[in-house]
Chains A and B, each alone.
Chain A
């Protein structure tokens, strides 16, 4: 499968725990995005990488959230001290700047904080 891959697909965690999600983009894509989607809403932008550089972060991304893309390939999104309000679907997308930035999404990681 050459699409965007996200792991895990589902994560249930207790409030206060830390969680980390992984995203493997389409191999030739240099841009990677994280979005958050709550029930009944469209995805909301969280952050963006071009290669290994994190170029933009949304105000939605509190200090408890951190994202990395260390070698310009896969990316991780960590949430520290999870809260119930963090429960959502976390979506990763990738694109190639040379093709007009058409973004392809992964299947997402569904986080439930109990």
Chain B
């Protein structure tokens, strides 16, 4: 099955700096890569996603890049704000057997702290 590795496990930045979180995946058949933000005591919230036919996607201060050859994808947050502080998870959609039901395999998470 799919295996997703996420780094770093913790990231501390000053307000206004950029933050980058990286993930690698093992299954070359995976074709969908979402990123979720999870605040304490809440469920994961989808913030951005990218499909395998696209190399980069941007939404305001958030961008995601995908390198299919190297099997890695990254989340970039620019102009960070204290409210960006949360745990961020990357995920890959398991495409075992060529049939995708939407099952996601998650990374271990990155605790992002933005200091005012």
* Residue ranges of A at the interface with B (Cβ–Cβ < 8 Å): 4, 6, 31, 33, 40-45, 48, 50, 55-56, 91, 95, 97, 100-108, 110
Asked if residues A43 and B89 are in contact (CB atoms below 8 Å), the reply is yes
* Residue ranges of B at the interface with A (Cβ–Cβ < 8 Å): 4, 6, 32, 34, 36, 41-46, 49, 51, 89, 91, 93-94, 100-109
Q: Is the interface of B mostly helix, strand, loop or mixed?
A: strand
Name the B residues within 8 Å of A44 (CB-CB). Answer: 106
Contact (A105, B44) CB under 8 Å given A41-B109, A43-B89? yes
> For residue B106, which residue of chain A has the nearest CB?
A42
Name the A residues within 8 Å of B45 (CB-CB). Answer: 105
What are 20 A-B interface contacts by the 8 Å CB criterion? A31-B101, A31-B102, A33-B104, A42-B4, A42-B91, A43-B104, A43-B106, A44-B106, A45-B103, A45-B105, A56-B103, A91-B43, A91-B44, A100-B51, A101-B100, A102-B46, A105-B43, A105-B44, A107-B42, A107-B43
